[in-house]
């Protein structure tokens, strides 16, 4: 299956570099480019890409708002959005994830990781390295609940084991690491993660991690 990609960045040189990398792959095709969030919306409607590589800081409309309008809650069959960030400079990555992004990449990501990330996201999974999940949420801990709040009522729908899996997802553990921690198989972990996402109405483990912090289930910085 060919994966249709839209490149969104206000720097033409970066778009050119990404295009060269992606078009060298037989299963990826760049269907268009946009220099800001408003153009991205127009291109998504016109070109129907499978995945949007989305910069955050752009003129007219930033990547967070564009992501919300493309992949946010209530969207019917939303396009997958993979956010591009310089990480140390951008302050809006958590908002992008809340807005519906399926993950994020650093702009200096190696070519093979960029390609793999697009494939993973197009397949319906989230692309956020476990170690980055933890670092990201801890970095923005002051913008998330402290953990002293009453847990969200939605958590009552989860079994004790599902709650345990959600805590480990929020800590940034991979399925293999969770399996080792709980002494179960990876298949079992995947099943539990799937149940958590379904019960909480979440799309992927990235949103699950953010939910765990926002609901008070996990305290930012806690082990």
pLDDT tens digit sequence for 160-206? 999 999 998 887 777 888 999 999 998 999 999 999 999 998 877 77
Distances (CA, A) of 121 to 39, 150, 204: 22, 33, 10
Q: Taking each helix axis from N to C terminus, what angle separates 111-122 and 12-22, rounded to the nearest 10 degrees?
A: 80
Note the Cα 191 to chain centre separation in Å: 20
SS3 state of residue 127: strand
pTM to 2 decimal places: 0.70
Q: Which pLDDT value is given to residue 28?
A: 96
Residue range 93-140, pLDDT digits in tens: 777 777 888 888 888 888 998 998 898 888 876 666 555 565 665 655
* 6 contacts 32 by C-beta, under 8 angstroms: yes
Asked whether residue 143 carries a pLDDT value surpassing 70, the answer given is no
Asked whether residue 74 carries a pLDDT value surpassing 90, the answer given is no
Q: Which pLDDT value is given to residue 100?
A: 82
Q: Which helix (H) or strand (E) holds 52?
A: strand 51-55
Q: Which of 19-23, 104-108, 150-154 has the highest mean pLDDT?
A: 19-23
Q: Which pLDDT value is given to residue 179?
A: 92
Asked whether residue 54 carries a pLDDT value surpassing 90, the answer given is yes
**Average pLDDT score over the chain:** 83
Query: How long is the chain?
Result: 223
How many Å is the maximal CA-CA distance in the chain? 51
* 81 contacts 71 by C-beta, under 8 angstroms: yes
Q: Residue ranges of the alpha helices (H) in the chain?
A: 12-22, 37-47, 63-71, 93-99, 111-122, 130-139, 160-170, 175-182, 186-200, 205-214
Q: Which pLDDT value is given to residue 107?
A: 83
Asked whether residue 141 carries a pLDDT value surpassing 70, the answer given is no
Q: Which pLDDT value is given to residue 84?
A: 85
Q: Which pLDDT value is given to residue 172?
A: 73
* 94 contacts 67 by C-beta, under 8 angstroms: no
Q: Which residue has the tokens 């806690």?
A: 222
């Amino acid at each position: 299956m060919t994966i249709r990609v839209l490149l969104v960045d206000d720097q033409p040189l970066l778009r050119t570099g990404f295009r060269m990398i992606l078009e060298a792959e037989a299963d990826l095709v760049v269907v268009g480019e946009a220099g800001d969030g408003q153009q991205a919306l127009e291109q998504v409607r016109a070109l129907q890409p499978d995945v949007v590589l989305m910069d955050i800081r752009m003129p007219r409309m930033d990547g967070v708002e564009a992501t919300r309008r493309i992949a946010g809650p209530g969207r019917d069959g939303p396009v997958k959005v993979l956010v591009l960030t310089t990480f140390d400079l951008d302050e809006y990555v958590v908002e992008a994830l809340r807005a519906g992004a399926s993950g994020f990449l650093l702009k200096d990501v190696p070519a093979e990781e960029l390609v793999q990330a697009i494939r993973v996201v197009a397949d319906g999974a989230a692309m956020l390295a476990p170690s980055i999940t933890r670092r990201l949420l801890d970095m923005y801990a002051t913008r998330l609940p402290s953990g002293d709040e009453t847990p969200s009522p939605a958590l009552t729908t989860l079994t004790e084991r599902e709650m345990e899996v959600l805590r480990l997802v929020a800590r940034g553990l991979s399925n293999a690491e969770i399996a080792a921690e709980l002494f179960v198989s990876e298949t079992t972990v995947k099943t539990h993660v799937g149940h958590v996402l379904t019960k909480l109405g979440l799309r992927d483990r990235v949103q699950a991690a953010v939910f765990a912090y926002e609901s008070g289930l996990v305290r930012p910085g806690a082990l």
